[in-house]
Chain A
Amino acid sequence: MNLRMIKAEILKLVTRRGLMAWVLLLTSGAVSIMFTVLAVRHGSDPGKYSPAGGLHNFQNASYFLTSIGMAAAVLLGTMAGAGDVGGGVFRDLVVTGRSRLSLFGVRSVGALLVFLPLILLALGITAVVATTLSGSLPAPSFTFIIETSGWVLLSTCSMLIIAVGVSSLIGSRAPSITVLLAWQLLVSQLLLQVTFLGHIRDALLLSAQHHFAPAGVLGGRAGYATSSAVVAGLVVVAWVIAALAGGAWRTRTMDA
Chain B
Amino acid sequence: MTSTPFTNGAPYVIETDGLTKRFGERVAVDGVDLAVSRGQAFGFLGPNGAGKTTLIRMLLGLTEPTSGSMRLLGRPLPIERAAALARVGAIVEEPRFHPQLTGRQNLYIVAACRERETHDRIPAALERVGLADRADERVSGYSMGMRQRLGIARCLMVDPDLLILDEPTNGLDPAGILEMRTLLRALVDEGRTVFLSSHLLDEVEKVCDSVAIVDRGTIVTAGPVAEIASGGRRVIEVGTTQPGRAAMVLSEGRLAHSVEAAGDGVRVVLAPDSWEPQAVAAEIARRMIGAGLELHRLEIARATLEQRFMEITTRLGEAA
List chain A positions with a Cβ less than 8 A from chain B: 2, 4-5, 7-8, 11-12, 15-17, 87-89, 91-99, 103, 255-256
User: Measured between alpha carbons, how far is A12 from B97 in the docked complex, in Å?
Assistant: 11
Taking a contact as CB atoms under 8 Å apart, the answer to whether A95 and B61 are in contact is yes
User: Measured between alpha carbons, how far is A17 from B140 in the docked complex, in Å?
Assistant: 14
Q: A12-B109, A256-B62 are in contact. Are A95 and B88 (CB under 8 A)?
A: yes
From B155, which residue of chain A is reached at the shortest CB distance? A95
User: Measured between alpha carbons, how far is A5 from B146 in the docked complex, in Å?
Assistant: 25
List of A residues within 8 angstroms of B241 by Cβ:
none
User: Measured between alpha carbons, how far is A40 from B88 in the docked complex, in Å?
Assistant: 63
Taking a contact as CB atoms under 8 Å apart, the answer to whether B61 and A94 are in contact is yes
15 contacts between A and B (CB under 8 A): A4-B112, A5-B113, A7-B112, A15-B105, A16-B100, A87-B98, A91-B92, A94-B60, A94-B61, A95-B61, A95-B85, A96-B110, A97-B61, A97-B82, A98-B113
Q: Which of A2, A92, A255 makes the CB contact (< 8 A) with B110? A: A92
From A3, which residue of chain B is reached at the shortest CB distance? B112
Taking a contact as CB atoms under 8 Å apart, the answer to whether B96 and A92 are in contact is yes
Distance to closest chain B CB from A124 (angstroms): 28
Distance to closest chain A CB from B85 (angstroms): 3
Taking a contact as CB atoms under 8 Å apart, the answer to whether B98 and A89 are in contact is yes
* 12 additional A-B residue pairs with CB within 8 Å, beyond A4-B111, A11-B105, A91-B62: A11-B101, A12-B109, A15-B101, A87-B98, A89-B96, A91-B96, A92-B92, A95-B61, A95-B62, A97-B61, A97-B86, A255-B63
Interface residues on B, range: 20 to 34
List of A residues within 8 angstroms of B105 by Cβ:
11, 15
Determine if B81 is an interface residue (Cβ-Cβ < 8 Å): yes
From B62, which residue of chain A is reached at the shortest CB distance? A256
List of B residues within 8 angstroms of A91 by Cβ:
60, 62, 92, 96
User: Measured between alpha carbons, how far is A12 from B110 in the docked complex, in Å?
Assistant: 11
Determine if B149 is an interface residue (Cβ-Cβ < 8 Å): no
Determine if B154 is an interface residue (Cβ-Cβ < 8 Å): yes
Taking a contact as CB atoms under 8 Å apart, the answer to whether B101 and A89 are in contact is no
Q: A92-B96, A96-B114 are in contact. Are A8 and B109 (CB under 8 A)?
A: yes
Q: Which of B61, B101, B116 makes the CB contact (< 8 A) with A12? A: B101
Q: Which of B92, B101, B113 makes the CB contact (< 8 A) with A103? A: B113
Determine if B142 is an interface residue (Cβ-Cβ < 8 Å): no
Taking a contact as CB atoms under 8 Å apart, the answer to whether A93 and B62 are in contact is no
List of B residues within 8 angstroms of A256 by Cβ:
57, 61-63
Taking a contact as CB atoms under 8 Å apart, the answer to whether A88 and B96 are in contact is yes
Taking a contact as CB atoms under 8 Å apart, the answer to whether A95 and B90 are in contact is yes
List of A residues within 8 angstroms of B99 by Cβ:
87
List of A residues within 8 angstroms of B63 by Cβ:
255-256
From A16, which residue of chain B is reached at the shortest CB distance? B100
Distance to closest chain B CB from A69 (angstroms): 24
User: Measured between alpha carbons, how far is A35 from B84 in the docked complex, in Å?
Assistant: 58
Determine if B178 is an interface residue (Cβ-Cβ < 8 Å): no
Determine if B108 is an interface residue (Cβ-Cβ < 8 Å): yes
List of B residues within 8 angstroms of A99 by Cβ:
82
